[in-house]
């Protein structure tokens, strides 16, 4: 059932060709018991049926609701009326969210009354008729359709007059089939009202039971829908939901896969993950993945059980890494062994609470080495060979135990690279990570990492070398002439077994990931085009872009201006992966995460072994800015002999255009390398300035506004996902708290302006004479996202900042069509004070004779007509722009490349989405205006800004 929901949009269905308000009014009057001559107020029972209440014989005013739950009732009614069955949980949640975001009436009478005059309502309601289920159910003529609807709703055949009446309306195209179903339900009389109300109660009970058992995947397809339809067909006017529970339970059991009862008995099902075989048939297939959990769902003392759709049980190991502030599990690494996978098969692995937590293993690295694993890495630098052995790293160092349990154990250890005579290379080091599924023969993944990133060792520089990695006595990886840039690193995953590791692609549950709030609320209705995925693979996954010391799909010069697929809350390929779980999108994301180690931003503290921290007397003076080289001595040494040619690299990082490279990869894999990548970038971001600007607290106030936005996002990611016991956890939390305290003091408490615009206030802050609203929108979104992650200090800052995007869509004197300009005057040119109103800012930015088009060119009307007198959002305004710009401009089209998924309205969308959830005045109205704009981007080829309100 839910599959077709993914590709429906509000604009899919159109109003019927001969739809008129009069025709609809007649239908509604008939539906409510009246004729065409006079309206008859519905009786209280009928009002209850329609989801409303009647007091004193007057129907209530119908308004939109503010929560998804408030729309559950009306969505359930549509499912019963049109499909004759209860809503599936995913469909109920999807449509409730769509209705809330569209701000349509939350009751059946309100919805039907709004149908005539609202394209949004028509699009939502008629989308049900565009589904495959609708086509399967109603392939016959309108006579058969009306009969089926009567059976769905009332459990009986229609009377001839009623059938002829509704058939005539549908055949004349006065109303659509979907609307006919709703109107027939609304027209229930006498005991038919009780039948409908009882069906709604039973349907609610069934949907809740399916959701509680987490059988969403089983309640899918024609057979499952037919079973639920049969159950609901047994409900009559005297049915009680309590007495009907055995029938509900029996139907739920019928839908459950074999053996599911045992799993349900062990605990609540939380989510699932799909294990897709990408090779030949396999047995004993090991899988390990990162899993985020919704706050409050799972305690660290609880365990997980796994069950496949074919009934096979899978023992799961859960290594808890991070917890929410209520003590529940936030992020864990889950491991298990799937018994078998046929060629091309995809198995759904359901995760449910079960029994106690995983008991740590007593298996040691010595046991692994005793089993016969050997490995080494050798680098030949200027004719001298330096090497490190896996055995020495695991036995002589103090390895980090990353995973521990009955399924898998993983250790991570560093080792110096030495010559045969014992001389240690001053800068290059090796690290090994070994993930051993000790119950399976020769099943271990060996990660080899080579680093050139010591912070306090003198004379850093690039090195060129030949590399050779040996595993179990065989050459597992080699490359000649590799240039290893200063303060960078690379890694390779290899397997003990020469045949390699499991050939699987793991596909997380997208809806659950988004519901956890760990990732933004991306529009799950977007269907990524196959051509976009094909193009991504052909351009991002080439030999020239992937592998050690390469960067995947990223720009070599990160400060490159203009819209790019990597810039946004998450990069385009990461969002494509999130929404599709496509293997090509995932590989593109992972190659960028691998390549994130290539950039020269990796400063590992020689003493602690972790990324540098600024919270001590020495390190607080750290600066990595090249222009401060003369201000020594500084804690971070400069390039060898002060010869910057020895540190030349083709890759230039910055914060203003910095993508999110490692957060989602770590979240879904649980791989330690990506955690450290996230930490390295978060640690580096504050350091590229005079030490006084970051104040030893990691403040990012000195960066460009967009740089502040992306740095706050990355810092939030690091604070949120770093394991609770990690050396860097408290540091990142404190840095984030200090940054939020700065913005709270400066803007919430200081309240420097009435617009909610960033204005450069506060000591050491980036100066801002005027405003680039798109950068400000990135900044606003970052606080909304931090609030979603659970950082309460961000909430009042969001409410203050949200005034700026909301005002540009709703404020008096500011036309929302120009709500997303490239540049905006927010100060009086004489006093330099921020304007008190949006009307003043609009008048200063958009002046007669200086109106600009999308490209920034001044345009004038050929007849000399003024622009500012044209009503905002009107056809006259659009006609003016069409004539002046010599290109068609649609009514309600926003300025700023409205049709581009990289345009300024697209940049604005995430800010408006979090604003709409902030609770400030007019925020929902601002979102509604924005959502109803006439020209929208095609997010199917680049969805990084396609964020919706929660």
Q: Rounded to an integer, what distance in angstroms lies between the CA atom of residue 950 and that of residue 839?
A: 30
- What pLDDT band is residue 162 in, cutting at 50, 70 and 90? confident
Predicted local distance difference test score (pLDDT) of residue 619: 87
Predicted local distance difference test score (pLDDT) of residue 633: 57
State pLDDT tens for residues 765-818.
998 889 999 999 999 999 999 999 999 999 999 999 999 999 999 999 999 999
**Residue 56 pLDDT > 50, yes or no?**
no
Predicted local distance difference test score (pLDDT) of residue 246: 55
Task: Give the CA distances from residue 657 to residues 292, 414, 558, 662, in Å, rounded to whole numbers and listed in that order.
Answer: 27, 32, 6, 15
**Residue 642 pLDDT > 90, yes or no?**
no
Task: Tell me the pLDDT of the chain averaged across its residues.
Answer: 88
Task: Give the CA distances from residue 212 to residues 266, 509, 593, in Å, rounded to whole numbers and listed in that order.
Answer: 13, 17, 36
**Residue 12 pLDDT > 50, yes or no?**
no
Out of 40-49, 547-556, 731-740, 916-925, least confident range: 40-49
Give the H/E segment covering residue 150: helix 142-154
Q: Rounded to an integer, what distance in angstroms lies between the CA atom of residue 512 and that of residue 506?
A: 15
Predicted local distance difference test score (pLDDT) of residue 258: 57
Segments in 374-443 forming alpha helices (H): 390-396
Burial zone of 151 (CB within 10 Å; 0-12 exposed, 13-18 middle, 19+ buried): middle
Max Cα distance, the chain (Å) = 105
Q: Rounded to an integer, what distance in angstroms lies between the CA atom of residue 451 and that of residue 611?
A: 13
Higher pLDDT, 166 or 597: 597
Q: Rounded to an integer, what distance in angstroms lies between the CA atom of residue 411 and that of residue 402?
A: 6
Out of 64-68, 402-406, 667-671, least confident range: 64-68
DSSP 169-188: HHHTTSS-HHHHHHHHHHT-
Segments in 507-662 forming alpha helices (H): 510-515, 530-540, 572-580, 583-595
Predicted local distance difference test score (pLDDT) of residue 10: 26
Contacting residues for 133 by C-beta, under 8 A, at least 6 apart: 1, 4, 83, 222, 225
* CB 949 within 8 Å of CB 536: no
Reading phi first (left if > 0) and then psi (alpha if -120 to 50, else beta), residue 3 is in alpha
Predicted local distance difference test score (pLDDT) of residue 247: 64
Torsion of CA 847, 851, 852, 853, to 10 degrees: 140
- pTM of the model as a whole: 0.74
- What pLDDT band is residue 879 in, cutting at 50, 70 and 90? very high
Q: Ranked by mean pLDDT, which of 29-38, 346-355, 663-672 comes out on top?
A: 663-672
Higher pLDDT, 233 or 24: 233
Reading phi first (left if > 0) and then psi (alpha if -120 to 50, else beta), residue 616 is in beta
Q: Rounded to an integer, what distance in angstroms lies between the CA atom of residue 453 and that of residue 603?
A: 5
- What pLDDT band is residue 260 in, cutting at 50, 70 and 90? low
Burial zone of 253 (CB within 10 Å; 0-12 exposed, 13-18 middle, 19+ buried): middle
């Amino acid at each position: 059932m839910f599959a077709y929901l993914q590709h429906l949009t509000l604009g899919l269905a159109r109003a019927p060709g001969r739809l008129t308000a009069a025709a609809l009014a007649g239908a509604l009057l008939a539906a409510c018991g009246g004729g065409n001559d006079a309206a008859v107020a519905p009786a209280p029972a009928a009002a209850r049926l329609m989801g409303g209440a009647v007091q004193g014989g007057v129907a209530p005013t119908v308004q939109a609701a503010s929560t998804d739950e408030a729309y559950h009732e009306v969505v359930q009614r549509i499912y019963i009326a049109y499909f004759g069955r209860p809503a599936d949980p995913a469909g109920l949640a999807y449509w409730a969210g769509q209705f809330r975001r569209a701000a349509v009436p939350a009751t059946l009478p309100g919805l039907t009354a709004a149908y005539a005059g609202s394209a949004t309502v028509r699009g939502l309601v008629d989308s049900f008729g565009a589904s495959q289920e609708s086509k399967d159910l109603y392939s016959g003529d309108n006579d058969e359709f009306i009969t089926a609807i009567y059976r769905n709703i009332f459990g009986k055949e229609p009377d001839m007059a009623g059938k002829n009446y509704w058939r005539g309306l549908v055949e004349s195209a006065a109303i659509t089939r979907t609307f006919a179903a709703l109107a027939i339900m609304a027209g229930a009389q006498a005991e038919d009202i009780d039948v409908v109300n009882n069906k709604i109660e039973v349907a609610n009970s069934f949907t809740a039971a399916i959701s509680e058992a987490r059988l969403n995947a089983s309640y899918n397809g024609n057979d499952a829908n037919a079973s639920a339809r049969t159950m609901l067909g047994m409900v009559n006017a005297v049915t009680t939901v309590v007495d009907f529970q055995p029938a509900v339970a029996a139907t739920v059991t019928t839908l459950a896969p074999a053996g599911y009862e045992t799993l349900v008995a062990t605990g609540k099902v939380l989510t699932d993950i799909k294990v897709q075989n990408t090779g030949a048939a396999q047995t004993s297939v090991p899988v390990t993945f990162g899993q985020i959990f919704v706050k409050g769902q799972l305690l660290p003392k609880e365990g997980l059980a796994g069950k496949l759709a074919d009934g096979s049980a899978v023992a799961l190991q859960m290594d808890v890494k991070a917890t929410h502030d209520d003590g529940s599990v936030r992020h864990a690494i889950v491991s298990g062994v799937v018994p078998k996978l046929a060629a091309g098969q995809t198995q759904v692995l359901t995760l449910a609470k079960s029994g106690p937590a995983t008991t740590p293993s007593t298996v040691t690295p010595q046991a692994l080495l005793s089993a016969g694993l050997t490995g080494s890495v050798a680098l030949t630098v200027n004719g001298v060979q330096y090497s490190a052995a896996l055995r020495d790293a695991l036995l002589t160092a103090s390895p980090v135990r990353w995973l521990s349990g009955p399924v898998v154990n993983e250790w991570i250890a560093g080792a110096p690279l030495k010559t045969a005579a014992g001389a240690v290379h001053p800068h290059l080091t090796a690290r090994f990570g070994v993930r051993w599924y000790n119950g399976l023969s020769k099943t271990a993944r060996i990660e080899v990492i080579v680093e050139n990133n010591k912070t306090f060792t003198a004379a850093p520089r690039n090195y060129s070398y030949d590399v050779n990695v040996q595993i179990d006595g065989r050459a597992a990886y080699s490359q000649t002439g590799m240039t290893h840039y200063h303060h960078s690193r690379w890694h390779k995953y290899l397997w003990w077994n020469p045949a390699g590791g499991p050939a699987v692609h793991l596909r997380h549950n997208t809806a659950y990931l988004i519901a956890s709030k760990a990732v933004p609320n991306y529009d799950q209705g977007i269907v990524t085009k196959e051509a976009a995925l094909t193009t991504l693979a052909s351009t991002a996954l080439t030999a020239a872009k992937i592998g050690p010391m390469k960067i995947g799909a990223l720009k070599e010069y990160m400060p490159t201006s203009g819209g790019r697929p990597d810039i946004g809350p998450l990069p385009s390929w990461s969002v494509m992966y999130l929404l599709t779980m496509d293997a090509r999108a995932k590989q593109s994301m992972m190659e960028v995460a691998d390549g994130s180690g290539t950039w020269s931003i990796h400063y590992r503290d020689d003493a602690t072994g972790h990324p540098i921290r600024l919270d001590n007397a020495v390190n607080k003076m750290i600066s990595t800015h090249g222009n401060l080289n003369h201000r020594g001595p500084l804690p971070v040494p400069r390039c060898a002999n002060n010869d910057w040619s020895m540190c030349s690299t083709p890759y230039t990082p910055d914060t203003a255009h910095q993508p999110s490279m490692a957060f989602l990869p770590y979240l879904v894999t649980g791989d330690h390398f990506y955690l450290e990548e996230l930490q390295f970038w978060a640690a580096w971001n504050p350091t590229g300035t005079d030490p006084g600007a970051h104040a030893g607290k990691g403040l990012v106030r000195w960066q460009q506004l967009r740089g502040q936005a992306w740095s706050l996002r990355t810092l939030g990611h690091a604070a949120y996902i770093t394991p609770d016991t990690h050396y860097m956890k408290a540091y990142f939390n404190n840095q984030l708290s200090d940054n939020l305290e700065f913005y709270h003091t400066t803007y919430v408490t200081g309240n420097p302006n009435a617009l909610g615009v960033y204005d450069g206030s506060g000591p050491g802050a980036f100066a801002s004479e005027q405003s680039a609203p798109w950068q400000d929108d990135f900044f606003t979104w970052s606080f909304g996202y931090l609030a979603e992650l659970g950082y309460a200090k961000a909430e009042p800052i969001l409410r203050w900042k949200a005034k700026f995007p909301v005002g540009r869509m709703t404020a008096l004197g500011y036309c929302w069509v120009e709500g997303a300009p490239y540049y905006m005057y927010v100060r009086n040119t004489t006093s330099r004070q921020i304007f008190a109103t949006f009307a003043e800012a609009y008048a200063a930015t958009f002046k007669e004779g200086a109106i600009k088009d999308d490209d920034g060119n001044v345009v004038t009307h050929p007849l000399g007509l003024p622009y500012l007198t044209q009503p905002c959002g009107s056809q006259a305004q659009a006609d003016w722009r069409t004539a002046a710009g010599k290109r068609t401009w649609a009514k309600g089209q926003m300025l700023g490349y409205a049709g581009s998924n990289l345009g300024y309205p697209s940049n604005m969308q995430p800010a408006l989405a979090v604003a709409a959830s902030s609770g400030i005045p007019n925020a929902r109205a601002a979102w509604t205006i924005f959502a109803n704009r006439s020209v929208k981007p095609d997010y199917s080829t680049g969805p990084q800004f396609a964020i919706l309100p929660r």
